[in-house]
Amino acid sequence: MSITLQEVEHIAHLSRLALSDEQKAKMTETLGKILNFANELQELDVENVAPTTHSLPLKNVLRDDEPRTWLTQEEALSHAPQSENGHFKVPAVMEG
């Protein structure tokens, strides 16, 4: 299975990446090679195999719901490229 330029453009959009035409061409080739290599997994019979998401049998890990000292609003905002009135600031989302 290979990947097309159109698919690369679609995946770049989903990945929130702005690729140049040159980068798209190179990415198509690189991903094609990797996916081609990954196709060796298709030869295995995994019909009755359960997927592993995690190497330890941990389930529903919860800790006590107790407040603890953590970052202040000021500290949390101190790394933001833009902030205003105690909020992170982003470009306008709605038009008009």
Partner 1 sequence: MSLLNDSIRNLHKKIQDREIKPSELVSASLERISATDEKVRAYLSVHGEVAMERAKQLDEIPADAGLLYGIPGAIKDNLNTKGLPTTCGSKILETYTSAYDATVVSKLNDAGVVSVGKTNMDEFAMGSTGENSGFFPTHNPWDLSRVPGGSSSGSAATVAAGQVLFSLGSDTGGSIRQPASFCGVVGLKPTYGLVSRFGLVAYASSFDQIGPFTQTVEDNAIVLQAIAGHDPLDSTSANLSVPDYLAALTGDIKGLRIGLPKEYFGEGMDAGVREQIEKAIQTLESLGAVVGEVTLPHTKYAVATYYLLAPAEASSNLARFDGVRYGLRVEGENLIDMYKRTRSEGFGEEVQTRIMLGTYALSSGYYDAYYLRAQKVRTLIKQDFDAVFENYDVILSPTAPTPAFALGSNVGDPVTMYLNDIYTIPVNLAGVPAISVPCGLTNGLPVGVQFIGKHFDESTLLRVAHAFEQAAGFSARASL
Contact positions toward partner 1, by CB under 8 A? 1, 3, 7-8, 11-12, 14-19, 23, 27, 30-31, 33-35, 37-38, 40-42, 44, 46, 49-56, 58, 61, 63, 71, 75-76, 78-82, 88, 90-93
CB of 23 to partner 1, least distance (A): 8
CB of 71 to partner 1, least distance (A): 6
User: How many CA atoms does the CB half-sphere of 51 hold within 13 Å?
Assistant: 1
Kindly report the backbone phi and psi dihedral angles of residue 15, in degrees, each rounded to the nearest multiple of 5, phi listed first.
-80, -5
Q: Which residue has the tokens 């008009």?
A: 96
Nearest residue to 3 (alpha-carbon basis) of 38, 40, 42, 35: 35
CB of 62 to partner 1, least distance (A): 8
